Structure 1
Amino acid sequence: MLHTVREWLCWERMWLPEKVSWSDLEDSEGRVYAKASQLYAALPCALCLLLVRFLFERYLATPLADLWGARDRIRLTAETNPVLEKHFCSQARLLSQVSDLRSLCEKTSWPERKVQVWFKRRRNQERPGLRKRFCEASWRCVFYLFAFVAGVLALYDKPWLYNLKEVWAGFPKQSMLPSQYYYYLLEMGFYLSLLLSLTFDVKRKDFKEQVTHHIATLTLLSFSWISNYIRIGTLVMACHDSADILLEGAKVFNYAKWQRTANTTFVVFTALFTLTRLVIFPFWLIHCTWVYPLEEFAPFFGYYFFNVMLLVLQILHLYWAVLISRMLLKLIFSKLEGDDRSDEEEDDSDSPKERNNKLSHINGSGARGRGANGH
């Protein structure tokens, strides 16, 4: 059975145009072609990036967070209650039903207000702190900047950057360049590292969409590597990285409470996102993969597969465009605070007296007070 699956996966008509075989893509006459076995290098690259990320967040991002006042908010701890803890862990984090609230009040002999406050505090305990979010955004901002610069260096002197028809000139017998190999390896290692770190990264409201995006991206990169769609692959990666730099940068400034800088960066990001993801990506790059190949060869399975995966990414772009437009409207007509995708902390004070006590802690003197005010 495994042999049959292997033969099916290696079937030339699935991945290559007619009259082209794997033997045509063997290294010869100074030409070097991408090989499927080279994809295994993405795993050690991902592990190296995780190590670099750990060192970056610990020795660079954390001190920067302290310098800019991005410190964790002082939280009130939920008192020990086995009945509420069991309900929280096994049934629901939110008390959406009035019957559930009343039932828990009867079991604990607590008033409704106290039970509600307990759930707020318990939810807050599981939310990531401001410093963790600051460090994550800093790492991604630095990586996207580095990756975008790498992409520019790999593309600036290539004819297919200025004339998209050159993407398919001589396809699939296009020799792989060293710059393309390292650019691919860097991007695949990064997105694989994001999947490996999902369990301890900040979990946002669009978590499922993020996972879908990472898997679709890795699938696209792997397929484009095997089928020698490398030229268009590098263009797609550079197109995506350009806007992500500003998105993560806006988050960093927001967590540091540089509101004016954060808002300006977000507005520029919105314009660049619209240009790259809603204009260039669908009308130039997807058009390049749908139309131009048909001038060179008849459509085959890989042609349809690659374009369908690009459409999946475009659907995700439209979803995020809606979220971004909501945030932009908040920025223009009211006040933008945080990220619509984030699970923000709730006010967990249960009385005016406790709120005053909490504020006295937050506004206290010394470094501790200054750190809380920074948040």
Structure 2
Amino acid sequence: MWEAESHPQWQDYSLVCFAALACPLARFLLDSCVFQRLAERAIFPDGENNLKKIVRDSRRKKIPKFMESAWKLTYYTATVVLALLVTYKEPWFGNTNAFWHGWPNQSLKSFRVGSIVLVLHDVSDIFLESAKLCKYSGSELGASVLFGLFALSWGLLRLVYFPFWIIRSTSLDIIEHLDKSNPLHTIQYYAFNTLLLTLLIIHIYWWWLICRMISRQLQLQGRIPDDVRSDSDDD
């Protein structure tokens, strides 16, 4: 509840230092103990020795990419779960009008909006990285299904919910809580919304790229094509 919010203490920032050290260490351990073996088993299900050298070398190039996507999947899943655990019981989780209850005396004025924006964005990335893992391991059907879920979640969350609920709230709902005589409030209002609108423009551009990939996927009868962002990318 927002009544229980408090301003951060200096010791709270120690969590930032802990995360900065823990994330690289976690990736190193997962790469060494889990992802490397998982990639080899997924990419070489019948054993590497039975493959021709050209095919074997081509597949081995996918191992670092598999490990990269596996780490991203782990990270995005962890951030979404953590964000949901922190926010899903809050009254502002499903009610954008409640973003501004107690504003501008909230402990962190943009925490509520930022938490929801984080969840909206990272959910789509979970599907994307899962699709990449399927593609690297040779499962075209799994890659196609997961990429479809990625495109669907992107369109609904980033191009519908994000502008028509989140940005609408940060642009309109907040106005009655603004102190127009306080120039700091005005600066915060325009700066924050400028950043969110810039993010929306980026989403629209990426949606155009996603539509190009979907078009190519249909031309290839459902097979996921190479990444349209770069002609040199051999994903």
- Short-chain TM bin: 0.7 to 0.9
Give the match for residue 89 of structure 2: 157
Task: Go from structure 1 to structure 2 and tell me whether the alpha carbon gap of 1:69 and 1:268 turns closer, same or farther (over 3 Å shift).
Answer: same
Following superposition, the deviation at residue 45 of structure 1 comes to 1.4
**In 2, Cα distance between equivalents of 1:66 and 1:324:** 29
**In 1, Cα distance between equivalents of 2:191 and 2:4:** 30
Which deviations, in whole Å up to 9, do the C-alpha atoms of 1:153-193 show, x marking residues without a partner? 11221111122111101112235xxxxxxxxxxxxxxxxxx
Give the match for residue 140 of structure 2: 259
Give the match for residue 168 of structure 1: 100
Q: Which has the larger radius of gyration?
A: 1
Which deviations, in whole Å up to 9, do the C-alpha atoms of 1:251-306 show, x marking residues without a partner? 11111111100001101110110001111111111111111110111351111111
Give the match for residue 57 of structure 2: 74
Give the match for residue 9 of structure 1: none
Residue segments in structure 2 that go unaligned for 5+ positions in a row: 49-54
- SS of the residue aligned with 1:271? helix
Give the match for residue 233 of structure 2: 344
Listed as ranges, the matches of 1:227-306 within 5 Å are 228-297=109-178, 298=180, 299-306=185-192
- SS of the residue aligned with 2:66? helix
Q: For 1:51, which of 25, 28, 31 is the aligned residue? A: 25
Question: RMSD value over aligned CA atoms?
Answer: 2.6
**In 1, Cα distance between equivalents of 2:68 and 2:196:** 27
Which deviations, in whole Å up to 9, do the C-alpha atoms of 1:53-77 show, x marking residues without a partner? 11112211111111111689527xx
Alpha carbons 1:73, 1:130 under 8 Å: kept: no
Relative contact order, CA 8 A, sep 6+: which one is greater?
A: 1
Alpha carbons 2:104, 2:177 under 8 Å: kept: no
**In 2, Cα distance between equivalents of 1:156 and 1:30:** 15
Which deviations, in whole Å up to 9, do the C-alpha atoms of 1:14-72 show, x marking residues without a partner? xxxxxxxxxxxxxxx97621368955753441232011111112211111111111689
**In 1, Cα distance between equivalents of 2:144 and 2:169:** 34
Following superposition, the deviation at residue 245 of structure 1 comes to 0.5
**In 1, Cα distance between equivalents of 2:11 and 2:191:** 21
Q: For 2:70, which of 126, 130, 138 is the aligned residue? A: 138
Task: Go from structure 1 to structure 2 and tell me whether the alpha carbon gap of 1:153 and 1:31 turns closer, same or farther (over 3 Å shift).
Answer: closer
Structure 1's consecutive aligned runs of 4 or more residues displaced over 6 angstroms after TM superposition are none
TM-score (norm 2): 0.82
Residue segments in structure 1 that go unaligned for 5+ positions in a row: 1-28, 76-127, 176-224, 346-374
Supply the AA of the counterpart residue of 1:341: R
- SS of the residue aligned with 1:158? coil
Number of positions where the alignment pairs a residue of Structure 1 with one of Structure 2 = 215
Following superposition, the deviation at residue 314 of structure 1 comes to 1.2
TM-score (norm 1): 0.53
